[in-house]
Structures are given as C-alpha cells and as structure tokens.
Structure 1
C-alpha cells in the first residue's frame, strides 16, 4: 500500500505573568577632578548596595540576587565648537543589578533611588522562574505537536486519506526540507513593559506585559487510504 508523506510545521505561544524583575542601574558622575568624581561615585555605589543588602535577607527576601561588580573611571579632553581642546573631564561609573521577586518592593526601591543625582535606571527585564519557564516550555511543545497532527490530518483528509501515522518530530530545520527559523524547539520572548511615574508623590506604577513562551516544531506523517 502506497503512502503519502506529509510534512508540516506548527508553533504555539503561551503567556504567563512575570515572576521576577531584574533592574539595572548605572551610577556615576563627571567633573574636572578625578578624585572627587570617583569619591562621589563610590559613595553612591555604597549607599545603593546597602539598600539592596537590606532587602536581601532570609526573612524579607524581596531581592533574590544582586550584584555591584562593574566600575569604570576615565578622563577625556573635549573640544570646543571653535576647535580648541578644553580642560579634561573625568568620569566614573558603576553598574548595579538586582533581581526582585516582590514587585511592590521593587517599585518602592526604584522610587527611593531613581531620582537621586548620578542614578540612571537603564532597564527592567521581566522573567519567570526556571521551574515555571521549563513547565510552560514543555506544555507549549506538546501543544505544538498536537497542532501539527491536526494540520497533517486536514491535509490527509483533503487528499482523501484517512489513516495517519507519525514518522518524525523535530526542532525547526532538523527535517531538512522545511525552512525553519531557529534551531531550538522553544524560544522565550520577554515582552515589553511600561515604567511610568503615576503622579507627584505617588508610588511608581509598574505594569509588565506577560512573558511569552513560544514553541515551534516540524513533524512528518505517513498517510494512507
């Protein structure tokens, strides 16, 4: 009995509210003298680190992980509009990253540091825990396989075939004859977020979008009448 080979692709998305938020700050100053610039940056770095240390303890544990391990100090001589070289300007910067599980504590902490001189909030990344991510990824993969079988069944019925037998399932591009973008079965895309000050004296209003977990697969089936 001859068989008709049907090869399909399928993908699915699943959404979940963020469980962690990683905020990154750049701390730094500039000025005409190296030592005062460095000292101001060092003091700000120490105060910011201490505020995170207070949130990272066995009882509260609002912060699950934090680091403050990058520092840069340099000088440069800018040029004026007339082409004259001006006196040197010195810069000092450090980077602080903290991962929060408590988003209310995150909003309160950002309110306390973001408007200080020398502080720049460079990013907030919204993520899931590893356990949640793995579970959602596995579920998305299963859903994609079910979708692939349904698509192949539709093709088979359109050809007047009724029996469908799975032959192979693979990551995109692995079957060799279907163009796939990417080599992994599931890719996590972290959606954008809103970071807005809700009003004078009011706490920061953090409104993260859902984290989107995507799974894409290729599948091959044999169909017979």
Structure 2
C-alpha cells in the first residue's frame, strides 16, 4: 500500500434520454395568384379555419394546447420572366406562419391530420422538446452522473495502488482545470439535446380520425465535467 497521497485529474461524462413534454407544430400558409385577391383569399380562409380548430382545442376544459402564435399575413408581388427573358404579368403571393404547442401528445396526430387537409396550409415542422424547468432538473441529474463517472475513473486509475479514500479538490466545467477539450458535437461544450420523431402509418378508417400515429423519440441530454481528487 502506498502511504503518499496522490492527486488525480479526470474528465467525467454522462448522457441519458428523456421523453419530451412539449411538441410545437409549425404551419406555413401560402398562396399565389394573378391578382392580389386570388392570393389573399385562400390564405384568409385557411387562417380562419386553423384559428377555429385551435380555438376549439383551447376552449376544452382539459385543453391539450399550451400556447399558439400567429404571424401577420404578408402580401408581396413579383414579375416572372419567360424563357426569352421577357417580363410576364405580375404574380401576387400571401403567406403567414402559425405555431401550436401541445403538452398532450394524443391530440397532435389528429390536429396534423386535420390541418394537412386545409387548402394553402403546409405542416412545415414538428419540434419535440423539453421545457426549461424540466430540462434543468434533468441536466442536474446528468451532471451528477458525470461527476460519479469522474470519481469511478479516479478509483480505477488508483486501484492497483491500494488507495481507498478520495477527497474532491475541484469540480469544474470542461477545460476549466486545464484538460484538453475533447471534440464535441455541439458549440461551446455545453449540454446537447437530441430529438427525432417517428411516424407510424396505420390503416385508413372512416371513423378513427387520423391514419397515422406520431411517436417522438426520447431526447438525449449529455454533460461533461472535470474533477480533481486527492486519493490516500
């Protein structure tokens, strides 16, 4: 057994996957035409229809919608060119953006199915995420695991020397204790969140509503720390 204390500086790493608790559905409303009315009218009808659907969901006692946003309608025009480079008559476009955030995922598929059938509406994105408070709690859990990983490393390095007492001298974010910063898949060396979404198609039914089910993948949270221990 070695009677002299030794200092070990190690990096700890941990990652865990968690279920998302929010889903934001992003909608794009767009139409164009030879006149301003041909572009604006379908967009106005689509916005009114979507707004009605969202309002219906929001007024439920157990509303699955946490919040929603509506960007103002934009009207533009442009002059296209033909193959010979000559200008053609004006074309008019109208567009708007709508986002709807759900905290009850059972309602997402039905909503996407309904809005997908509205003229001039496109579902541009489904973003599955974790709220800030929930993410901070989960990140704290992963950081604790990263510290434990660092301690396990220190014990592993000194196992053959017979040390059995370890005292933490310093715990720090990556690169703060002078260790080389490992390559990371995210900027700044902070925690990374990863998510994805699977769509499972189901047989069509006249009464069952949507013909698909949305199944979000779990979100990965990663943490890295540096630790210095004194073993004796």
TM-score range, shorter chain: 0.7 to 0.9
1:217 pairs with 225, 228, 231, which one? 225
SS at match of 1:80: coil
Confirm or deny that 1:110 pairs with 2:112. yes
**d(CA) in 2 for partners of 1:99 and 1:142?**
31
Quote the RMSD (CA, aligned, Å).
Answer: 2.3
Gaps in structure 1 of 5+ consecutive residues: none
Confirm or deny: 8 A CA contact 1:171 1:183 kept in the other structure: no
Which structure has more strand as a fraction of its residues?
1
Looking at structure 2, the residues matched to 86 and 64 of structure 1 have their Cα atoms a distance apart, in angstroms, of 46
Q: Is structure 2 residue 16 aligned with structure 1 residue 20?
A: no
Q: Which moved more, 1:195-204 or 1:123-132?
A: 195-204
CA distance in 1 between partners of 2:44 and 2:160 (Å): 71
Q: How far apart are 1:65 and its partner, in Å?
A: 0.6
Q: Give the alignment's TM-score, normalised by structure 2.
A: 0.85
1:198 matches 2:206: no
Deviation of residue 172 (structure 1)? 1.5
User: 1:18 Cα deviation (Å)?
Assistant: 2.1
- Relative to the length of structure 1, the TM-score reads 0.88
Unaligned runs of 5+ in 2: none
Q: Does structure 1 retain, via aligned residues, the 8 Å contact 2:46–2:119? A: no
CA drift at 1:220: 1.4
- How far does residue 56 in structure 1 lie from its aligned partner after superposition? 1.2
- The equivalences for 1:29-178 within 5 A come to 29-57=31-59, 59-158=61-160, 161-178=163-180
How many corresponding residue pairs?
Answer: 223
- Give 1:91 shift: 1.1
Deviation at 1:198, TM superposition (A): 3.0
Q: Residue 71 and residue 197 in structure 1: after superposition, are their counterparts in 2 closer, same or farther (change >3 A)?
A: farther
Contact 2:42 2:119 in 1 (8 A): no
**Partner Cα separation in structure 1 for residue 8 and residue 70 of structure 2:** 54
